[in-house]
Amino acid sequence: MNHAVLVRTERARLGVTRSLTALVKRCVRATLAELGVDIPCEVDLLYTDEQGIRALNREHRDKDAPTDVLSFPAVTLAPGEKPTTDMTDPETGRVALGDIALSLPAARAQAETYSHSYERELGFLTVHATLHLMGYDHERGRQEEIRMNELTESVLATLGLTRGIEV
C-alpha cells in the first residue's frame, strides 16, 4: 500500500539517521497493514526533544510535563474502524490520519530503563502512536489497553523488534 510517512525534525542534534527514519516509517506502515488499512494514508511524524514535547503536551493536553510520544488524530475512528475513500484528500489522494510527535531523548532513556534496544523502543512508541491515530486508546479501559498491547507486540514481532533483539 502506498502510505506516506512525512518526517521532520524540530531540533538539531537529536541523532536522527536515515536508518532511524526508515524504521519509524516501516513501523507506521506495518501497523496500518496489521489493521488491514487498504487505502493510501498519510502520517506526519515530528522528532523532538523533552522541551519540544513538553510544549506540545502543555498546549494540546494542558499537561505541563514531558512525555515520550503524542498522537493527534486528524480523523475520528473507532477501534477497528478503517478510513474510507470519502476521507481522502483530493490533492494528495491519501487520507490524512494525523500527527505523531516523538521525543527521541525519552525513547533513549526508556530503552535503557526497559533493557531493550533503542530501535525497539522507537518501534514501540511509533506503533503505539499509530494505533492512537486509528482510534485505539488504552485510557478507555483495560480491554482496549490489552488489545493495543497485543497489536503493538504483533507489529513489532513482524518487524523483528522483539524484546532484547537489535535490528
Q: 44 to each of 15, 24, 86, 98, 99, how far by Cα in Å?
A: 19, 11, 20, 6, 5
> Cell match 481522502: residue?
88
pLDDT tens-digit series, residues 29-74: 999 999 999 999 999 999 999 999 999 999 999 999 999 999 999 9
What are the grid coordinates assigned to 53, written together?
A: 514535547
Q: By residue range, what is the domain housing residue 16?
A: 4-158
Q: Which residues pair with 72 in a beta bridge?
A: 99
Please determine, for residue 82, whether its predicted confidence score (pLDDT) is greater than 90: yes
Is the residue at 166 inside a domain? Answer: no
Is the residue at 62 inside a domain? Answer: yes
Packing angle between helix 18-34 and helix 118-133, nearest 10 degrees? 40
pLDDT band at 167 (very low <50, low <70, confident <90, very high): very low
Is the residue at 164 inside a domain? Answer: no
Please determine, for residue 77, whether its predicted confidence score (pLDDT) is greater than 70: yes
**What span, in angstroms and rounded, lies between the C-alpha atoms of 149 and 112?**
20
Note the helical H segments in the chain: 18-34, 50-61, 104-113, 118-133, 142-158
Q: What's 75's DSSP letter? A: S
Q: What's 60's DSSP letter? A: H
Residue 8: Cβ-neighbour burial (10 angstroms; 0-12, 13-18, 19+): exposed
Is the residue at 167 inside a domain? Answer: no
What are the grid coordinates assigned to 163, written together?
A: 524484546
Query: Are the CB atoms for 33 and 40 separated by under 8 Å?
Result: no
pTM of this prediction? 0.93
Mention every residue, 6+ apart, whose C-beta is less than 8 A from residue 40: 1, 2, 3, 4, 88, 93, 94, 95
pLDDT tens-digit series, residues 86-142: 999 999 999 999 999 999 999 999 999 999 999 999 999 999 999 999 999 988 888
Is the residue at 140 inside a domain? Answer: yes
Work out how many domains the chain is built from and give that number.
1
Is the residue at 114 inside a domain? Answer: yes
Is the residue at 165 inside a domain? Answer: no
**What CATH number has the domain bearing residue 34?**
3.40.390.30
pLDDT tens-digit series, residues 102-118: 999 999 999 999 999 99
Q: What's 122's DSSP letter? A: H
